Amino acid sequence: VGGSRGAKKRGRIESWELSPDQVVLQPAMRALCRQARKAVSQMSSQQAAMVAWACARMGYRDEALLQALANHVSHTSLKLAPKAQGLSMLAWAYATLDFKHPALLSRLMQTAKAKAKWFQPQALSNLLWGLGHFKVCDQELLSLLAREAVYKVDDLKPLGITTILEAWAHAGFYNISLFAVAVPAARKQLPAFSPPTLVRLLTACACVGHFDR
């Protein structure tokens, strides 16, 4: 079982560095994850997504549990797959904990195509960030999500807008309609952009050759 200490030792991502409160909770997390592993087969796919999300929020990487949850969701029928929010929770959690499971990623993309219109703005951003972390590129999925993002981008904060545009830029897929809507939305919130986020936004635009005059 790999907890946060092992993850930090491998030096993968800074989010695994623990606060004093998280250090105190380590024994409890180990016990909870041990119990969760025994119950995975009885979980719905949505419940599995919530467990993975909780581990990521705590910065706790239990590899055996993550593997079991991913296997469980990957073999769930499309009808019983997680809701749109659950899909984004899974993508975000596995990316945050840097645990790549190819079968899970494939199922996430397949299900996201069927449920594209149900993603709320932040869930859409989290899904794209998670898939982007693993350098997953599916132009059919991006096309479907772009249609949704065009209508929802005004409801996103600076980081969410930037994350969405980065997904298309990293895929080398220039969706003119999306950028034409997202960049003005970002301009309205310009004072709220942190310098690093603004640099990321400009880089995404430059990567696809989008110019806003």
Q: Each residue of 65-84: pLDDT tens digit?
A: 999 999 999 998 878 888 99
Give the pLDDT confidence score for residue 18 in this predicted structure. Answer: 45
In-domain check, residue 127: no
Residue 170 corresponds to which amino acid? H
**Are 75 and 105 members of one domain?**
yes
Give the pLDDT confidence score for residue 25 in this predicted structure. Answer: 66
**Are 61 and 162 members of one domain?**
no
Write down how long the chain is.
213
Whether the predicted pLDDT of 43 surpasses 90: yes
**Are 1 and 106 members of one domain?**
yes
Q: Round to whole Å and give the CA distance between 188 and 212.
A: 13
In-domain check, residue 122: no
pLDDT in tens, 136-193: 888 899 999 999 999 999 999 999 999 999 988 888 889 999 999 999 999 999 999 9
In-domain check, residue 130: no
In-domain check, residue 131: no
Instruction: Copy the structure tokens of residue 66.
Output: 């993550």
| pTM of the predicted model over 0.85 | no
CB atoms near residue 24 (< 10 Å): 10
Domain of 206 in residue numbering reads as 137-213
Q: Round to whole Å and give the CA distance between 156 and 46.
A: 24
Number of domains in the chain: 2
